[in-house]
Amino acid sequence: MKFLIILSALSLVSCGIFRSKNKLAVSGKIEIHHPYCGGAKPTQEMLKGTMEAYKNTSFLVKTQMNNHKKKGTIARFQTDETGAFSVHLPGPGTYFLIHEDKTLSFADFVSKYKVEKQHQSYVGDEMAKKAYEQADAQFEVQEGKDVQIVIRSRCFVGLNPLMKYTGPQPE
């Protein structure tokens, strides 16, 4: 009987090691795109906007979009100062990326991001729920290729998904 238990335990451990060895090492970079938001007559270069590293931020990789911390979550990682990350995934395929804040309850998410400032207002509960339930990015993983993810910010509210700009347009 002891032999069967030891053999079963050894089998489970070896399967775990085998599965972890089969995971694909994936590295990449996440950047924030800041659009041109008006002002002086722009050059062609200014119209392209600017890129910035999405640094020191925690993300979850999921096989299906949901706001549960564990359901469908296959990895968690944090970007470094340059927006770079490295993670082990089951293999090539399509994955969803969500900011760790989207695992908060909806009420806590709204409480954190509903920060009214001059010329900004809350988008409303219906739009907030859509933003909360939407992945920040969807990306493809292929063997031998780095992943490049661009998260788009919005003029005058940045990455805050629950606020909209209501002020005057720049001239």
Per-residue pLDDT reduced to its tens digit, 82-126: 999 999 999 999 999 999 999 999 999 999 999 989 999 999 999
Q: Which residue has the higher pLDDT, 10 or 157?
A: 157
pLDDT value for 14: 36
Q: 73 exposed, middle or buried (CB, 10 Å; 0-12, 13-18, 19+)?
A: middle
Q: pTM for this one?
A: 0.84
pLDDT value for 11: 44
Q: Where are the alpha helices (DSSP H) in the chain?
A: 2-22, 44-47, 106-113, 125-132
Q: How confident is the model at residue 22 (pLDDT cuts 50, 70, 90)?
A: confident
pLDDT value for 6: 44
Edge to edge, the sheet with strand 137-141 lists 73-78, 58-62, 93-99, 137-141
Q: How confident is the model at residue 19 (pLDDT cuts 50, 70, 90)?
A: very low
pLDDT value for 21: 63
